[in-house]
Amino acid sequence: MREWLLRAVGVLEIVGGALGLEAALHRLLAVRAPLTVLAAAVAALFFAWALLAGVLLIAGSERGLRWSRWVQLLQVPVLSSTIASYAVHVGAAVLVLAGFAWPPAWSLHVSGLSHGWLIGVLGAAPYGSRIGVDALALLAYLVLRLAGGRA
């Protein structure tokens, strides 16, 4: 069971990393604005790192286990507001979000076999003004923490 869970996380990282890397490289080659080029380069590096972490995790590497924990941990927080936004997912996502208004509005966003990257300031609020977690990334992090050993 332990091996199956670690392989499942590794496969999601490989698929999401490859999809994200392809999209980031496509954007990197298509744009000329310096800030957009910088964002695409950072996204390409992140998705390449996630892909490598997944490959190393499936190979049974301790480094792959450590890197995969960090990849999953970076996916857990989700913030969407008109001031600043942050969300990233590799492979799949189950976002549980709560609105800032009263009474709080809860929402659930599910995405399978995909990638996502959003870091924005001033006006970038793709989910409305909300804060939340990627429940799938949190679960994957806990699997890596509990089933992965001491790395």
Dist. CA 60–CA 55, nearest whole Å: 9
Cis peptide before 103 (omega within 30 of 0): yes
> Hey, where are the domains in the chain?
2-147
Name the more confident of 133 and 113. 133
Buried b (16+ CB within 10 A) or exposed e, 26-56: ebbeeeeeeeeeebbeebbebbbbbbbbbeb
Six-digit token string for 77 = 């927080």
pLDDT in tens, 55-107: 999 999 999 999 999 999 999 998 877 777 888 888 888 888 887 766 666 66
pTM listed for this prediction: 0.83
pLDDT in tens, 23-38: 889 988 888 888 888 8
